[in-house]
Structure 1
Amino acid sequence: MARRTLLTGLGLAGAASLAAPGLASAAPAAAVDPFDLHFRIRHKYRPFDLIAPRFVQYDTAVAPAAARNALVVTDVRPRAPYAAVEVEVRSLSGTVLAGLAGDGVSVLGGYTGGRATIEVTAGGTTTVVDSVPATLAAPFRLAVVVNENAVTVLADPTNTGTGWQPLLTERDGVRALVDLRDPAVLGRLGYAYGGRDTVTLGRVRAGYFGQAGVRDPHVVQHADGRPFVRDGKLYLTLTQAGLGFFQQAHWGVWTLDLADPTRLEQVAHLFFARDGVVLGDHAGQIVWDGRRFILAMSSWGDFDGSGVHIRHTTTTANVLSGVHVLPTEPLPLPTSVSSWDPALTRIGGRWHVAFVESPAQAPAFVFHPALAVGPRGAAYDEGLELMGADLSVDQTEGTILQRFGSSWYVLASDGDARQYPVYDLRMRLLGTLDAPYGTNIPHPMIVPVRDGWWLLTFDGTQYAEPVLGYGGHGDFVVMDARA
């Protein structure tokens, strides 16, 4: 489904230790400008993990041999409703179940008698909110994933952990009975697994959900725009596609090995507390200003078709590692309409914030790039005034602030023209990048590397769209160029 069609209908001490990472490369030649670069695709691959590799919270390790005839409820809990349980089913003469449970509440997916099911127990009543026919023969693996309030049951008939296919997913029926975004609810629920009648299980693993794909790459940077690199690895944020629409996605921090751009590894999960719930807001940027991290992100975590805005927060915690739930507030931008895709850099003593404006959202979304600038010496969130916007485009997003030589530019992605426009700091169109343009609206995240440049982006390749719908994209794309 095309995007247009869809939218129509660390502690302080630890932070101090990160204050002086190296640059990704020596500065490129002073004469280079973005139009000197000719990019070509070097790598394209798909990060896919139901449980993020570094974020396994529970693992039986040695497969239990006994039959599980009851539900095992652990005291291990996720801090946000983005989690998964994987169960190896060795034999089955009944029902196998997995999910979250505790204190009289449970959200479980399962398989029994030729049907995959999702059931919710609340208020003393168990309700099967969805079921579909399915044919599975032991041994196989079953997984239950929670993304926000969406619950998805997947199976791997190959029993290898590499052949996951979704059987069913349900969000509205779950939300009608329980709100997993509510910390008071989620805090009662531990990872759970087991069965009814005779079920023999092998290894069981649980932890934070990984991703069905990645998108919206944005390099973590210093306030002056230098990329954040440590131990030869470039830090960047990515939107981690969930098993469904934008609310099912969340934000994470990753590293990309500068010696091997096929080594992309997640090092942090970021979630955000607002309006009494924990959400997976994403599509933003992290900036280290020498004493704290500045985070800005887009409010896609509760998107319901009625608007999006940019939010922000600061912290001395090491958000480049671990799991974090951070409170946020709206960023005071000079716009009265929807906004997303923030990019922040301090240029010449003034904070520049590039972003996307969306002045119309019915009957179709209209969105274009814009730039705001603050007073000299002011904080990033003080006194921002609109410097300019390109009103001639209406499907353009993915704003990036990038320096080439001695000059700064605003980069963006035009989904209609299928090209990457380049603007000056007054938002005057200068030209377009010479780079392949894939599917969806890929963001042009350019970074200097060694004696050249990389362009990090994504495409619109979906995962299991017939079952999960739009939102499970995309592939990670690495391009390179030399000046």
Structure 2
Amino acid sequence: MTESDFDRREVLRALTLLGVTGVTAGLFGGSAEAAGPSPLDLEFTVEEQFRPFALIAPKFVQVDTRARPGALVETGARPKAPYGTVTVEVAAPGSRVVAGLAGNGVSVLGTYDDAVGQAAIEVTTPAGTTVVKTTAAKLTAPFGFAVVVNENAVTVLAGTGTGWRPLLTERDQVRARIDLRDPAVLRKLSYAYGSRGPARLGRVRAGYFGQAGVRDPHVVQYADGRPYIRHGKLYLTMTNAGLGFFQQAHWAVWTLDLADPTKLEQVATLFFARDGVVLGDHAGQIVRDDEHDRFILLMSSWGDFAFTGVHVRHAVTHADVLSGVHVLPTEQLPLPTSVSSWDPALTKIDGRWHIAFVESPAQQPAFVFHPALAAAAPGADYDRGLTLLGADTSVTQTEGTILQRVGGRWYLFASDGNAREYPVYDLRLRKLGTLNAPYGTNIPHPMLVRIGDRWWLTTFDGTQYAEDVLGYGGHGDFILMRA
């Protein structure tokens, strides 16, 4: 060590104690980031909390028209995946109103019969028509009538001026007669509606299902961890909660307006083809890798979850997955684990790909899961020669893994549902402490991102939508914190 080296370090230390960083530190050979805070120094407070809700995603409307007369009118517009909605304005009651998917003698419909005061779900196949579920209902015109398909779950809703209220939902009895995930089946069906008797219908809209809430936010990033920002908007992926359990959810890309964080807009809808069906796998991450002009997508296999395991899947594409509707083939990512896995987080650190994920040795009778970190072979692509760097097996309800650099050092962040805190780890999975941030309901993921000179944290909570009818899965609120 030379005298000049010693003097420069002492000056930097003194400047830091005085709160002088940034450009001044740079004049002495340091960097603003290196002189920045530890994540344990940050204190987050909630600035925004709201509930994104849309039966049809605003940018993904496929039909918007006045109703034509007929017992069953097929629109000809088709979804690429079994995640769609039809809404109908009912101006005057009649004997029967229907909406859903239909074509080629096959249909999956929600119905409302004013004469008998009943809503129902019916499935028609070459074997015949079966009413799989009914419930008593009495609706006073004018009202909105909606039918949502999420995977093989069909939900009937009514809108009476105070928001949409689900009347009934059914999945298992629908799946027993038809599999809407099968592309050959889906290609035969289009959005449909109709009425019998004196019912008078108004506006009809149909398109891709939006969300009953959002969760699992993960900022779209470049390979080196920088956030992906275009035209003043931060891009992030989120799980769009469906009307029911995990299979009813799907994955979407959103933008957050940095000038007005309440302006959250869905810009892409993503589905995945595997095992001969189209699914709504979710809880993942998108990485823009400019070096190879590609997008890397990683997601968790929740789309067909049946308490028999979960794993991380991946895909590479040159298509612009940050806009439009996409159905992408995927493969299982060869993570160095023999148990279930989810919540992948990928970043190239010091020239080597690192991937954080959740390991789960059990999902029943109770979920058990903890954070882990792996790295690809030096110089190899992100999915080659992955080896385990560490795991925290002392925790049993910890997920939402995030890789982020703070103050010039890389950390792994996670969410401990038992301790109700956000643990902070180094890259050997040694716990360093916890984030100073509010911890809400469910297991909120600590998505840290630096925008300019401010640290933001996006997350979610466990607020359910109509759990009495739909059961668990329709959560949560979008929450934005700032340090």
Question: Structure 2 length normalisation: TM-score?
Answer: 0.92
**Contact preservation (8 Å) 1:28, 1:452:** no
Deviations 1:189-222 (A, max 9, x none): 0000011222210000000000000000000000
| 1:175 and 2:175 aligned | yes
**Contact preservation (8 Å) 1:282, 1:298:** yes
1:239 aligns with 239
1:85 aligns with 86
CA distance in 1, matches of 2:464, 2:126: 37
SS in 2 for 1:137: coil
Shift of 1:124: 4.7
CA distance in 2, matches of 1:30, 1:277: 51
Which letter maps to 1:133? A
**Contact preservation (8 Å) 2:33, 2:408:** no
Deviations 1:286-330 (A, max 9, x none): 001111000000000000011100000000000000000000000
| 1:152 and 2:155 aligned | yes
| 1:35 and 2:36 aligned | no
1:454 aligns with 456
Evaluate the alpha carbon distance shift between residue 258 and residue 29 of structure 1 in structure 2; reply closer, same or farther with a 3 A threshold: farther
Q: Mapping of 1:21-170 within 5 angstroms?
A: 28=33, 30-60=35-65, 63-64=66-67, 68-112=69-113, 113-158=116-161, 163-170=163-170
Which letter maps to 1:70? A
Which letter maps to 1:108? L
Evaluate the alpha carbon distance shift between residue 305 and residue 179 of structure 1 in structure 2; reply closer, same or farther with a 3 A threshold: same
SS in 2 for 1:127: strand
1:438 aligns with 440
CA distance in 2, matches of 1:449, 1:35: 18
CA distance in 1, matches of 2:306, 2:38: 40
- Residue in structure 2 matching 1:344, options 346, 353, 363: 346
Shift of 1:74: 1.3
**Contact preservation (8 Å) 1:104, 1:124:** no
Q: Aligned-residue CA RMSD in angstroms?
A: 1.1
**Contact preservation (8 Å) 1:27, 1:448:** no
**Contact preservation (8 Å) 2:34, 2:408:** no
Q: Mapping of 1:5-404 within 5 angstroms?
A: 28=33, 30-60=35-65, 63-64=66-67, 68-112=69-113, 113-158=116-161, 163-290=163-290, 291-404=293-406
**Contact preservation (8 Å) 1:241, 1:472:** yes
**Contact preservation (8 Å) 2:216, 2:459:** yes
**Contact preservation (8 Å) 2:273, 2:328:** yes
Which letter maps to 2:134? S
**Contact preservation (8 Å) 1:28, 1:448:** no
Deviations 1:6-26 (A, max 9, x none): xxxxxxxxxxxxxxxxxxxx9
- Residue in structure 2 matching 1:412, options 405, 414, 421: 414
CA distance in 1, matches of 2:306, 2:233: 37
Evaluate the alpha carbon distance shift between residue 301 and residue 27 of structure 1 in structure 2; reply closer, same or farther with a 3 A threshold: farther
CA distance in 2, matches of 1:325, 1:187: 14
Evaluate the alpha carbon distance shift between residue 27 and residue 176 of structure 1 in structure 2; reply closer, same or farther with a 3 A threshold: farther
Which letter maps to 1:414? D
Deviations 1:42-62 (A, max 9, x none): 0000000000000000000xx
1:22 aligns with none
Which letter maps to 1:299? S
Structure number with bigger Rg: 2
Which letter maps to 2:277? V
Q: Which runs of 5+ in 1 are unaligned?
A: 1-25
SS in 1 for 2:56: strand
SS in 1 for 2:57: strand
Aligned residues: 449
Deviations 1:416-459 (A, max 9, x none): 00000000001100000000000000000010123211100000
CA distance in 2, matches of 1:30, 1:182: 55
Which letter maps to 1:89? V
Deviations 1:384-443 (A, max 9, x none): 100000010000000000000210000000000000000000110000000000000000
**Contact preservation (8 Å) 2:94, 2:195:** no
CA distance in 2, matches of 1:399, 1:219: 12
Deviations 1:212-269 (A, max 9, x none): 0000000000000000000000000000000000000000000001111111000000
**Contact preservation (8 Å) 1:143, 1:155:** yes
SS in 1 for 2:303: helix
CA distance in 1, matches of 2:319, 2:204: 32
1:428 aligns with 430
**Contact preservation (8 Å) 2:64, 2:206:** yes
**Contact preservation (8 Å) 1:28, 1:451:** no
**Contact preservation (8 Å) 1:241, 1:474:** yes
SS in 2 for 1:87: strand
Identity %: 72
Shift of 1:471: 0.1
